[in-house]
């Protein structure tokens, strides 16, 4: 994918503006994710930032990250008060963003990041943070403004970075079919291949007319399980198919 750091920096700034001024009651109110409050979403972003920064430091130093790092970080953040979760999340968010920005181009080209059976390049690794940041920021934004959508600069990168998450977030419905989707703003041709074994997302023409056409930010939210009926913009195509895809990508 293209370098995601510019979009990540912009998203960090928007999150700071979004959270600034929230009182304790707002921090403890429910986010879009029914299992998490606004503060808990921020805690998730904050703990994720700490873990990612540690992994980045370890990869750059040529050492492995101990298995107990992530659980210990989660325990620490879960014990924080809602106010501390919010304040500390913004600080950790800034710290990991600066750490990513500090890696020069030559080193970025050399670094690889193991993720289970996969090996990611620097842009893909940073892109995971961008995706997480954009969608969890939306989880907060949409409870403050029901008309909130993903910013277009974020959507332009995120829509090209959905293949990996679709493999993990997709829940096969037992049917085997190929679904052609066209997005707008930006325009993309996307193919979803559903089988009893899993879900595969690829970009490029599917050799068939699109069954759905919708904004890129909405399609991205669909794959992340955040395209409920109340937050679906105008689209063209098969409504029943879109409902079926909502079930395939149930989200939080």
Neighbours of 201 (CB within 10 A): 20
What's the confidence (pLDDT) of residue 2?
78
Residue in the block written with tokens 């940073």: 126
Tokens (6 digits) for 35: 């299992």
Tell me the torsion sign for CA atoms 221, 38, 252, 114: positive
Buried b (16+ CB within 10 A) or exposed e, 225-245: bbbeeebbeebebeeeebeeb
For the chain, residues with pLDDT lower than 70 are 1, 205-207
According to the model, what pLDDT value does residue 105 have?
A: 95
Residue 95 CB partners (closer than 8 Å, separation 6+): 49, 53
What are the start and end residues of each CATH 3.30.1050.10 domain in the chain?
158-248
- The pLDDT score that the predictor gives to residue 151 is 93
Partners of 114 in the β-ladder: 119
Q: Between the CA atoms of 165, 166, 170 and 173, what dihedral angle is there, to the nearest 10 degrees?
A: -170
The sign of the dihedral angle between the CA atoms of 48, 54, 58, 64 is negative
**Secondary structure (DSSP) of 75-144:** HHHHTS-HHHHHHHHHHHHHHHHHHHHTS-HHHHHH--EEETTEEE-HHHHHHHHHHHHHHHHHHHHHHH
pLDDT tens, residue by residue, 200-220: 999 876 668 899 999 999 999
What's the confidence (pLDDT) of residue 206?
A: 61
Within a 10 A sphere around the Cβ of 178, how many other Cβ atoms? 14
pLDDT of residue 173: 80
Which tokens sit at 143? 């409870």
Pairing of strands 212-215, 236-237: antiparallel
* CATH superfamily of the domain spanning 158-248: SCP2 sterol-binding domain (3.30.1050.10)
C-alpha distances out from residue 180 to 38, 220, 234, 242, Å: 35, 15, 18, 12
DSSP, res 249: S
CA–CA dist 101, 95 (Å, integer) = 10
- Which residues are CB-neighbours of 154 under 8 A, at least 6 positions away? 7, 10, 11, 130, 134, 217
> Which class does domain 5-148 fall in?
mainly alpha
In the chain, CATH 1.20.120.450 sits at: 5-148
Q: Residue 212 phi/psi, 5° resolution?
A: -140, 140
Predicted TM-score of the model (pTM): 0.93
Angle of the 122-144 helix axis to the 38-61 helix axis, nearest 10: 170
Radius of gyration of the chain (CA): 18
Report the candidate in 97, 85, 77 with the shortest Cα–Cα distance to residue 19. 85
């Amino acid at each position: 994918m293209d370098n995601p750091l510019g979009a990540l920096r912009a998203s960090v700034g928007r999150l700071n503006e979004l959270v600034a001024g929230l009182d304790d009651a707002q921090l403890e109110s429910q986010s879009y994710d029914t299992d998490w409050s606004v503060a808990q979403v921020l805690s998730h972003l904050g703990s994720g930032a700490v873990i990612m920064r540690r992994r980045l430091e370890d990869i750059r130093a040529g050492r492995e990250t101990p298995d107990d790092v992530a659980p210990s970080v989660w325990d620490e953040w879960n014990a924080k008060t809602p106010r501390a979760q919010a304040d500390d999340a913004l600080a950790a968010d800034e710290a990991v963003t600066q750490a990513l920005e500090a890696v020069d181009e030559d080193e970025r080209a050399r670094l690889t990041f193991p993720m289970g059976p996969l090996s990611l390049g620097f842009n893909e690794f940073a892109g995971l943070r961008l995706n997480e940041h954009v969608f969890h920021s939306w989880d907060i934004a949409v409870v403050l403004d029901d008309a909130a959508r993903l910013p277009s600069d974020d959507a332009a990168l995120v829509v090209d970075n959905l293949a990996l998450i679709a493999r993990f977030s997709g829940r096969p419905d037992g049917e085997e079919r190929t679904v052609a989707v066209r997005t707008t703003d930006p325009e993309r041709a996307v193919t979803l291949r559903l089988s009893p074994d899993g879900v595969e997302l690829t970009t490029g023409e599917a050799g068939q007319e699109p069954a759905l056409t919708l904004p890129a930010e909405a399609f991205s939210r669909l794959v992340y399980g955040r395209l409920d009926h109340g937050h679906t913009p105008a689209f063209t195509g098969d409504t029943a198919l879109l409902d079926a895809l909502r079930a395939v990508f149930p989200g939080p």
